[in-house]
């Protein structure tokens, strides 16, 4: 599910901040295990100011890869999964609880985001939410009208070879669950699973490709190779920024999903908790939130960040009705392991035409 990110330039303000680090700063000893791109210093300016340098970063390409590497003994201080992975990481004894009393911005975080499954596990905080966004149906507005767009339209024979779907079983089944009226795709009944599978089979003849790289989807929509695709809001923003007439369907009644990702404190951490919490406080600050909204187009966990950004920009990115997304969208929560295995097996059959 997780997005690929753009490499962004460091802002002049952060660059100057690094040059004027306090004389007492000794340098960072922190190591962060993250998605490529999140080493962007615009996210943690106050940490650099205090410690004189940025943390060291190691990168993973998928949450499964990160999990496997950590289970094999790789060590770091912080890692950046999404909420659908938290319970699995807790069960594998990879992460330790977060002391919310040491989080300067905990009370400023969106109240809805702290209630999401995976932020807390067994009554303890295990993830500090950082960014969130949507996964939904992106379509060309010059070829499909707002009135006719729906998940059911993906099965219309006139769009044969003109749609794209992620090559990921759980994500595809999340879309199918929304299309068939199931709000909780993480624990479907046999009948709900059959209906979702039938839906995926019905759209298969129209699939131009099952994408593994979000950039592939962006380029295909921009070139009109496909006219609709299930993807992340980063793809929508990339298309908007490149003046392609395309938007994401954000009607919660028609079907949209929401993802939340954040930072966890690894049990393999060798550095002091002081640096860990300094980093968490920097990441959840108002300044960090303003930066990610304006420069990346992602929503942030700090509610005050939205007030620091041009309201028209917030509206254009679709973040002006955050409460509606948290109330009515499907959330990417942890899928029951047996159901996930079933999804993966059936999805391979569907892609093969069976």
| pLDDT tens sequence across 41-54 | 999 999 999 999 99
- Distance separating alpha carbons of residues 347 and 354, to the nearest angstrom: 10
pLDDT for res 27: 63
Mean pLDDT of 253-278: 93
> Given a cut of 90, is residue 102 above it in pLDDT?
yes
Question: Which residues make Cβ contacts (< 8 Å) with residue 38, sequence separation at least 6?
Answer: 5, 32, 57, 80
- Taking residue 289's Cβ as centre, other Cβ atoms within 10 Å add up to 29
Mean pLDDT of 305-310: 94
204 shares a domain with 347: yes
Mean pLDDT of 329-333: 84
157 shares a domain with 66: no
- Distance separating alpha carbons of residues 72 and 151, to the nearest angstrom: 40
The more confidently predicted of residues 239 and 327 is: 239
At residue 325, the 3 state secondary structure works out as helix
Domain interval for residue 153: 133-256+332-351
> Given a cut of 90, is residue 221 above it in pLDDT?
yes
Output the domain CATH number for residue 118: 3.40.190.10
pLDDT for res 26: 54
Work out how many domains the chain is built from and give that number. Answer: 2
93 shares a domain with 200: no
227 shares a domain with 171: yes
pLDDT for res 317: 80
Mean pLDDT of 266-281: 95
Strand runs (DSSP E) across 122-281, as ranges? 124-125, 128-140, 163-166, 207-211, 228-232, 246-248, 257-266
Q: Is residue 1 part of a domain?
A: no
102 shares a domain with 227: no
Q: Is residue 72 part of a domain?
A: yes
- Distance separating alpha carbons of residues 267 and 243, to the nearest angstrom: 45
pTM of the model: 0.82
pLDDT for res 18: 38
Dump pLDDT digits (tens) for 9-57: 333 343 333 333 333 345 678 999 999 999 999 999 999 999 999 999 9
Nearest CA-CA partner of 316 in 286, 339, 294, 348: 294
- Distance separating alpha carbons of residues 121 and 77, to the nearest angstrom: 20
At residue 270, the 3 state secondary structure works out as coil
> Given a cut of 80, is residue 2 above it in pLDDT?
no
Q: Name the token pair of 223.
A: 């070139």
114 shares a domain with 25: yes
| Average confidence score pLDDT of the chain | 89
- Taking residue 101's Cβ as centre, other Cβ atoms within 10 Å add up to 7
339 shares a domain with 229: yes
207 shares a domain with 118: no
Bridge-based pairing of strands 31-35 and 78-79 is: parallel
208 shares a domain with 304: no
The more confidently predicted of residues 237 and 279 is: 279
């Amino acid at each position: 599910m997780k997005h690929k990110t753009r490499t962004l330039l460091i802002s002049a303000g952060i660059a100057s901040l690094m040059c004027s680090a306090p004389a007492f700063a000794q340098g960072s000893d922190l190591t962060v295990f993250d998605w490529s791109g999140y080493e962007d210093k615009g996210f943690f300016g106050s940490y650099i100011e205090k410690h004189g340098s940025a943390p060291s970063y190691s990168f993973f390409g998928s949450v499964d890869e990160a999990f496997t590497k950590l289970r094999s003994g790789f060590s770091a201080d912080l890692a950046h999964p999404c909420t659908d992975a938290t319970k699995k990481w807790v069960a594998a004894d990879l992460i330790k609880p977060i002391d919310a009393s040491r989080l300067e911005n905990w009370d400023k975080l969106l109240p809805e985001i702290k209630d999401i499954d995976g932020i807390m596990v067994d009554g303890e905080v295990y993830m500090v939410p950082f960014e969130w966004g949507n996964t939904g149906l992106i379509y060309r507005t010059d070829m499909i009208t707002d009135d006719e767009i729906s998940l059911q339209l993906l099965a219309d024979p006139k769009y044969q070879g003109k749609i794209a779907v992620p090559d990921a079983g759980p994500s595809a089944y999340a879309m199918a669950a929304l299309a068939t009226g199931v709000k909780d795709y993480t624990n479907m009944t046999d009948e709900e699973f059959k209906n979702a599978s039938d839906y995926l089979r019905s759209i298969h003849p129209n699939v131009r490709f099952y994408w593994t790289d979000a950039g592939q989807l962006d380029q295909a929509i921009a070139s009109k190779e496909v006219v609709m695709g299930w993807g992340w809001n980063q793809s929508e923003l990339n298309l908007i920024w490149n003046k392609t007439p395309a938007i994401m369907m954000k009607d919660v009644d028609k079907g949209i999903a929401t993802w939340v990702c954040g930072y966890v404190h690894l049990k393999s951490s060798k550095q002091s908790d002081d640096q860990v919490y300094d980093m968490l406080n920097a990441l959840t600050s108002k300044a960090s939130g303003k930066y990610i909204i304006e420069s990346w187009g992602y929503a942030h966990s700090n509610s005050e960040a939205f007030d620091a950004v041009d309201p028209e920009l917030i509206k254009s990115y679709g973040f002006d009705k955050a409460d509606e997304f948290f109330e009515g969208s499907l959330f990417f929560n942890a899928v029951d392991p047996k159901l996930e295995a079933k999804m993966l097996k059936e999805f391979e059959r569907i892609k093969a035409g069976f």
